[in-house]
Amino acid sequence: TKEMPSYKLSYFNGRGRAELIRIMFAEAGVKFVDDRITDNWPKRKAEFPFGQLPVLEIDGTQLSQTAAIVGYLAKKFNFLSEDDLTNGKVQEIIGIFGDCFAKLPFFEKDEKKKAAAVAEQVNTKIIPAFTKIQEKFVPDCSSTLLGEFTVADMALLTVVDSINDFDKTVFENFPKLKKVYNDTCARPKIAAYLKTRPETPF
């Protein structure tokens, strides 16, 4: 048997762009070093190939860019379909979720500006995207977005958690997506991880 590589994931002390990667490790039952950078970032930035996080180190090789890391692990851990077109849809959905996440006002301090930014993102991006995904992809009564469990289901979990940090009502309007979300959270390894993960503001 081939030995598992050693993995270290560097990110800030939050869920953010790293949480999907952490959930994938949990679901795969694979250990990794969860390196959360809490101070000295300007100095440490130079340790990373493109000066941004997340970065996954695989037996000493650094891989950056969330999409590259997620794609690498999805293949490695078998969180893809056998079908190429389904995998195209997996990437499509993850890209759309990325757009929903990207403009959330994570660091806006002004409450008024923050509320306006959330409303804008919810109305112009999140509601249209979730409506389409629910109609176009999710089969009736399904536990998964695409009729089989893939990394897209774990991506739903993380984007919904981020949206809920800002607005807890939006997701209530998407019952089919909610079932996928709940069933993904209830997968034993993911449930165990969610119970013990650190509580962070983003």
Ligand X SMILES: N[C@@H](CCC(=O)N[C@@H](CS)C(=O)NCC(=O)O)C(=O)O
In whole angstroms, how close is the CB of 45 to ligand X at the nearest point? 6
In whole angstroms, how close is the CB of 135 to ligand X at the nearest point? 27
Whole-angstrom distance, CA of residue 136 vs CA of residue 138: 7
In whole angstroms, how close is the CB of 131 to ligand X at the nearest point? 25
Count how many Cα atoms sit within 13 Å of the Cα of residue 152 in the half-sphere of its side chain.
Answer: 26
Whole-angstrom distance, CA of residue 196 vs CA of residue 198: 6
Q: What is the DSSP string of 56-106?
A: EEETTEEEESHHHHHHHHHHHTT-S-SSHHHHHHHHHHHHHHHHHHHTS-T
When computed from its CA atoms, the radius of gyration of the chain, rounded to whole angstroms, is: 17
In whole angstroms, how close is the CB of 165 to ligand X at the nearest point? 15
Site of interaction with ligand X (CB under 6 A): 16-17, 45, 51-54, 65-66
In whole angstroms, how close is the CB of 24 to ligand X at the nearest point? 15
Q: Between 16 and 71, whose beta carbon lies closer to ligand X?
A: 16
Provide the 3-class DSSP secondary structure of residue 100: helix
Single-letter amino acid, residue 47: E
Q: Between 51 and 128, whose beta carbon lies closer to ligand X?
A: 51
